[in-house]
Amino acid sequence: MGLSVSRVGSAAQTKAMKKVAGKMRLELAQFRELAAFVQFSSDLDPDTKKKIARGELLTEILKQADLEPAPFEKAVVILYAALSGAMDNIPIPEAQSYASGLLDWLEKLHRDEILGAIRKSSDFTDEVEEKLKAAIKDYGISAKS
């Protein structure tokens, strides 16, 4: 699948999705380029390994079941978690489970202040970002308990 997005597709995105997913296209392009390069080199520096791991993570979390599209506010939250580095230490096979657990946890404890705020305004404000950042940190602590 290509990385191009039509003008119509971009115009149809909410402000929240544009803000969160803005650098995702670049990260996925870098990942694909590095993944092709890795086939010829086994000695990778830590930065390259990190970019490859992030690309694998993004590829994994973008998968969704047929006929089960994620509500945009949930997609925004998961993309933010992945692109902010909050999921960098999650093993790829556990990424979907982590994302699902995070969303369930947010539904129970932060439905209105985070998910509801994104849904109602279609925006990802600095205030919502700070609340989400703190909630993701809290979830990581509670998940380890």
- In the chain, % helix, strand, coil (3-state, to 5) comes to 70, 0, 30
Q: What is the mean pLDDT of residues 126-144?
A: 90
For the domain spanning 12-144, the CATH number is: 1.20.150.20
- The predicted-structure confidence for 27-69, as pLDDT tens digits, reads as follows 888 888 887 777 776 778 888 888 888 999 999 998 888 888 8
The three-state DSSP-derived secondary structure of 33-73 is: HHHHHHCCCCCCCHHHHHHHHHHHHHHHHCCCCCCCCCCHH
pLDDT at 19: 83
* Catalytic center residues: 7
Task: Domain ranges for the chain, please list them.
Answer: 12-144
- The predicted-structure confidence for 84-93, as pLDDT tens digits, reads as follows 999 999 999 9
pTM score, whole prediction: 0.79
pLDDT at 1: 45
Q: Provide the 3-class DSSP secondary structure of residue 126.
A: helix
